[in-house]
Amino acid sequence: MTDRVPASGTVHWVGAGLSTGSGLAALCDTAERVRLWHRTGERASAALAALGLTGRAEPRAFTLPALAAELAPGDIVVSMLPAPEHAGLLSACVDARAHFACSSYVSPEVLERVPSAEAAGLVVLTESGLDPGIDHLFAHSLIGRARTEIGADTPATYRLTSYCGGVPAVPNDFRYRFSWAPLGVLNALRSPARYLENGTETTATRPWEATRPHILSGETFEAYPNRDSIPFIAQYGLPSAWTPRTFVRGTLRLDGWLKAWEPVFEELRSGDDESIAALARELAAAYPTTDTDRDRVVLSVSLEVETAPDHTWTGIYLLDLMGDTEESAMARCVSRPLALGVRHILDGSLPAGLNRAAETAERSDQWLAELSEEGLDFTLRLGR
């Protein structure tokens, strides 16, 4: 097997959208050199100024050939671009023997390139933001604690739910403000969701129709499943002696969202791609996130393991953060764990090949401790 390529100390952060925050600043403190690639050099300079990083990172105008020309062995490329762009960036990394990191789910196109990256001794870090990312850390940590308490060979049933949402800190009538591509929000609602409920595999063709109340610290939210939860049962490594009763990963919204969005759902039921794209533009204009708005990120991961009718182990992680004048909650929650992962590429502790934010309870607890030390607040509640 090819030895892992040592990190050079140079980080290329590609894209400076709404999820770029204090994680980039943390890398400027750690890496020997940081370059911020944006649409133009002027925009890159403006983004660095807005983040207070002028002089601490080098602005660059992004094109893939321009980036490829500056890559050296051991450099790290951090992609904040949309997921369809990742495969091309990873190919450039493999050609240059540079490592790659992003916060997105592993796409089939990225997965195709992982063997070549691993053979070249390169780290491919994915799913290392908020959701996916911190949610994985919470889940692995809970499963590890339950495994220690109960025993992996003890027959049991379990319920695991993982819900995350970015919502307005001050609720509006629409119960939402758009902080990322509105069409992406609507298309996500058009994608079926597969999950496990009461021991039965279930598919919600229209995920919002599976919305349920979800109470956290006395506050009622609305939660619905998204994507395909089922593969994460294996990814999370739950003991085979434990039988899943409920396993759902989904989206959290403010109470009243379902009612406020009914006109949107009507269009999603009957509209075509063109009409839904037009609706996305209208909603973006009507409910934008402005410079004066503050956002809120809420992430709850809960695990209940029952070994007998009167014997249940429970664990709940809750992250509930609001943005401030310096940084949005979303930027903080996406960029900080991603930057932490990049620092572990820099220090050589991540192996070559595909990595996610967490694949063991031990690493999850380590990363959570580091994030907590850096000021990312969350709580853990355990009970029996």
Model pLDDT, residue 310 = 82
Look at the pTM and tell me if it is higher than 0.85.
yes
Model pLDDT, residue 136 = 98
Model pLDDT, residue 2 = 67
What does the DSSP 8-state code read for residue 287? Answer: S
HEC per residue, 247-264: EEEEEEEECCHHHHCHHH
Interior angle at CA 355, CA 239 and CA 62, nearest 5: 150
Cite the active site residues.
131
* φ, ψ at 272 (rounded to 5°): -100, 180
Q: Which class for 21: exposed (0-12), middle (13-18), buried (19 or more C-beta within 10 A)?
A: buried
* CATH T-level fold of 134-333+360-383: Dihydrodipicolinate Reductase; domain 2 (3.30.360)
Q: Which class for 88: exposed (0-12), middle (13-18), buried (19 or more C-beta within 10 A)?
A: middle
Asked whether 8 and 97 are in contact (CB, 8 A), the reply is no
Looking at residue 70, its amino acid is: E
Model pLDDT, residue 361 = 96
Ranges of CATH 3.30.360.10 domains, the chain: 134-333+360-383
Of 72, 64, 73, 52, nearest to 15 by C-alpha is 64
Ranges of CATH 3.40.50.720 domains, the chain: 10-126
The list of the chain residues with pLDDT below 70 reads 1-2
* CATH T-level fold of 10-126: Rossmann fold (3.40.50)
Model pLDDT, residue 33 = 98
